[in-house]
């Protein structure tokens, strides 16, 4: 499976204000050595990438990171985004990864469930 034409991709909800702000935040801080394409899931290329994923991944309500051809979602996608950023952001990665997956995903899902309310404030 190809991530996108130019490498790895972060698929975000283009209708979500919080996701759009996240995309803008990341795009300004991504290292030139580790390019990351930030793509709305609803756009043509985003929909094409999503449709190539397994049905299980297509049905998650999350950002989806395609890294080296493998999809990640929920907190696993969010934390891996740090690997694309400039070095001072990358130092957070090992500390964030130490938090157990069930706890990370629980917090992620609470925020994701309320993201439309949160981004309006």
Owner of token pair 């952001």: 89
Indicate the domain borders of the chain. 9-120
pLDDT tens, position by position, 5-64: 557 999 998 878 788 888 888 888 888 888 899 999 888 999 999 989 999 998 888 889
Nearest to 78 by CA among 48, 119, 111, 45: 111
Specify the pLDDT at position 3.
45
Tell me the whole-structure pTM to 2 decimals. 0.82
Q: Regarding beta strands 37-40 and 9-12, do their DSSP bridges make them parallel or antiparallel, or are they unpaired?
A: parallel
pLDDT at 104: 94
More confident residue, 74 or 4: 74
């Amino acid at each position: 499976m190809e991530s996108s034409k130019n490498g790895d991709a972060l698929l975000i909800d283009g209708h979500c204000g919080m996701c759009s702000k996240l995309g803008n935040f990341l795009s300004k801080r991504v290292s030139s050595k580790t390019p990351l394409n930030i793509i709305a899931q609803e756009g043509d290329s985003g929909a094409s990438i999503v449709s190539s994923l397994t049905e299980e991944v297509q049905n998650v309500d999350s950002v989806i990171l395609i890294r080296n051809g493998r999809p990640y979602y929920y907190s696993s996608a969010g934390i891996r985004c740090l690997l694309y950023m400039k070095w001072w952001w990358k130092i957070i990665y090992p500390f964030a990864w130490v938090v157990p997956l069930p706890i990370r995903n629980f917090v992620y899902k609470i925020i994701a469930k309320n993201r439309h309310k949160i981004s309006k404030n």
